[in-house]
């Protein structure tokens, strides 16, 4: 039935989506020339209806660490469908959730002893907020500026970027942000000993900001000293992305709460998880009456659990975590020289295969740059993303609102040749990005779309 539908209606994607789901988003895609009809995907590649191959450096916002349509994960899903597994009994349990929880706990510090499954990253964050409050009997939550933790109201209250928050207030009470990297500000907040949890991404997704030396270790110490739970959001950085299974391993951290989602199911099925210290579980689920203090109908479901088990095995067997570390180093080697050869490239940074290039006002030709930035902050990065896609068939993204930062989150199966191809393409598009014709072309298309 699905095959017939897809064959019969292929080509209608954009018109149908515009009519039934989100016409504004379709206008954006058309304006920037991203309105391709996609016919299939494999590993690090997408293929359009003309059979052209695109290199996917966006990776579904980081959900395809094991590669798109990974055969092992797909086989596990088919197998569990064929087994007619007895999932979601609700007043009863099946085997797969316990097996996935066991595998996750095996791979994380002994301090983490319990898992609560969810169906997305934002729900894992919501769970951390709720359970953190109940376990400590405190209500305040501290997060960092530029943080991104999801778009439901609790997670949104912890976000540090006003673009996501405007128009949706009032947010939850008790939330405040401190500058990422600033331990003094954090200590000032924690000293009052009324903070339930400090929530932090080990590397911030918006902008790909790496923590200064000693920051995360210091934050953990401060949390312990002041009775605050140390909650690390690994929704984007987890599952091999940064060259370790979890990014917190780079700094030898032992968080009380860890959120995971995105790539846990290989990108096939919605999934999320909150890993927690015994103290958190015991503080919330402290009686028979409180045995179901938090949950959601679909979490844990057997398909997500089967996909999670297959994903962890694939990460191990295909050595994807080491691969992420090695290829991440190679990507930096290939792209760092562009700082020297292009005036507008100010920084190249990353850890594992979480990579970014930051642009800034060139010494020469700063008038053109200033005009561009006046039209729209971060426009230069857009002028790189668009031709990378339309000319070089490489899908990438700008790292956040109003920022001149290009970001890459390729599937960890990406090859060295792909990275070489990306570096060569970058060199080409950056040299042309600031040219008046490029700027005018994009501005004209944007104006027509209004
Ligand atoms: N936390 C972080 C660090 C994220 O990067 C994201 C999504 O990008 C989320 C939470 C929210 O996850 P989801 O989109 O699955 O709700």
Query: How confident is the model over 229-278, as pLDDT tens digits?
Result: 999 999 999 999 999 999 999 999 999 999 999 999 999 999 999 999 99
164 vs 107, more confident: 107
Which three-class secondary structure state does DSSP give residue 421?
Answer: helix
Q: What is the pLDDT of residue 370?
A: 78
Q: What is the pLDDT of residue 361?
A: 87
Pocket residues for ligand 1 (CB within 6 Å)? 61, 120-122, 125, 148-150, 201, 205, 233, 235-236, 261
Mean pLDDT computed over every residue of the chain: 94
Beta carbons within 10 angstroms of residue 330's beta carbon: 15
Reported as a single tens digit per residue, the pLDDT across 313-364 is: 999 999 999 999 999 999 999 999 999 999 999 999 999 999 999 999 888 7
Q: For residues 7 and 360, is the Cβ–Cβ distance under 8 A?
A: no
Number of the ligand 1 atom closest to the C-alpha atom of 125: 10
Using alpha carbons only, what angle is made at residue 218 by residues 215 and 222, rounded to the nearest 5 degrees?
135
Query: At what angle are helices 416-433 and 320-335 packed, to 10 degrees?
Result: 30
Q: How many CB atoms within 10 Å of residue 436?
A: 10
Question: In 3-state terms, the chain is what percent helix, strand and coil (to 5)?
Answer: 45, 15, 35
DSSP state, residue 259? E
> Which of 236, 268, 304, 401 for mutating ligand 1's site (highest number of atoms within 8 Å of CB)?
236
Q: Which ranges constitute the DSSP H helices of 231-378?
A: 278-284, 302-317, 320-335, 338-341, 366-375
The per-residue pLDDT for 449 is 55
The pTM (predicted TM-score) of the whole model is: 0.96
Give the angle 257-261-267 at the CA atoms, nearest 5°: 165
Q: Which of 155, 200, 201, 205 has most ligand 1 atoms within 8 Å of its beta carbon, as the pocket-test mutant? A: 205
């Amino acid at each position: 039935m699905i095959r017939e539908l897809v064959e019969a209606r292929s080509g209608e994607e954009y018109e149908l989506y515009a009519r039934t789901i989100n016409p504004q988003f379709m206008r954006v895609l058309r304006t920037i020339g991203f309105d391709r009809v996609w016919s299939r995907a494999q590993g690090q590649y997408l293929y359009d209806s003309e059979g052209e191959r695109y290199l996917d450096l966006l990776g579904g916002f980081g959900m395809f660490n094991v590669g798109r349509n990974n055969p092992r994960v797909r086989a596990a899903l088919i197998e569990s469908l064929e087994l007619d597994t007895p999932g979601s009994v609700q007043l009863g349990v099946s085997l797969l959730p316990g097996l996935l929880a066991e595998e996750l706990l095996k791979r994380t510090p002994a301090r983490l002893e319990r898992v609560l499954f969810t169906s997305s990253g934002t729900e894992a964050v919501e769970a951390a907020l709720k359970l953190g409050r109940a376990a400590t009997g405190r209500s305040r939550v501290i997060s960092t500026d530029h943080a991104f933790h999801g778009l439901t109201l609790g997670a949104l209250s912890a976000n540090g970027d006003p673009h996501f928050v405007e128009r949706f207030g009032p947010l939850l009470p008790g939330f405040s942000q401190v500058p990422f990297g600033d331990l003094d500000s954090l200590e000032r907040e924690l000293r009052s000993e009324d903070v339930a949890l400090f929530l932090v991404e080990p590397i911030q997704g918006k902008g790909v900001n790496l923590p200064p030396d000693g920051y995360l270790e210091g934050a953990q110490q401060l949390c312990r000293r002041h009775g605050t739970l140390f909650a690390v959001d690994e929704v984007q950085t987890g599952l091999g992305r940064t060259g370790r299974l979890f990014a917190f391993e780079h700094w030898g951290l032992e968080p009380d709460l860890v959120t995971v989602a995105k790539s846990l199911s290989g990108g096939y099925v919605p999934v999320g998880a909150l890993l927690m210290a015994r103290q958190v579980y015991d503080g919330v689920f402290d009686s028979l009456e409180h045995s179901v203090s938090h949950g959601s109908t679909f979490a844990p479901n057997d398909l997500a659990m089967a996909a999670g088990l297959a994903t962890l095995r694939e990460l191990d067997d295909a050595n994807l975590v080491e691969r992420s570390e090695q290829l991440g180093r190679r990507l930096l080697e290939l792209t760092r020289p562009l700082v020297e050869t292009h005036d507008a490239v100010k920084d190249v940074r990353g850890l594992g295969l979480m990579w970014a290039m930051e642009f800034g006002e060139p010494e020469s030709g700063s008038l053109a740059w200033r005009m561009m930035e006046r039209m729209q902050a971060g426009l230069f990065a857009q002028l790189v993303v668009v031709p990378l896609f339309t000319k070089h068939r490489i899908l990438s993204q700008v790292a956040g609102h109003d920022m001149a930062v290009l970001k890459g989150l390729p599937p960890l199966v990406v090859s060295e040749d792909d990275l070489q191809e990306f570096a060569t393409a970058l060199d080409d598009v950056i040299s042309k990005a600031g040219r008046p014709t490029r700027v005018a072309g994009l501005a004209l298309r944007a104006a027509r779309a209004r």
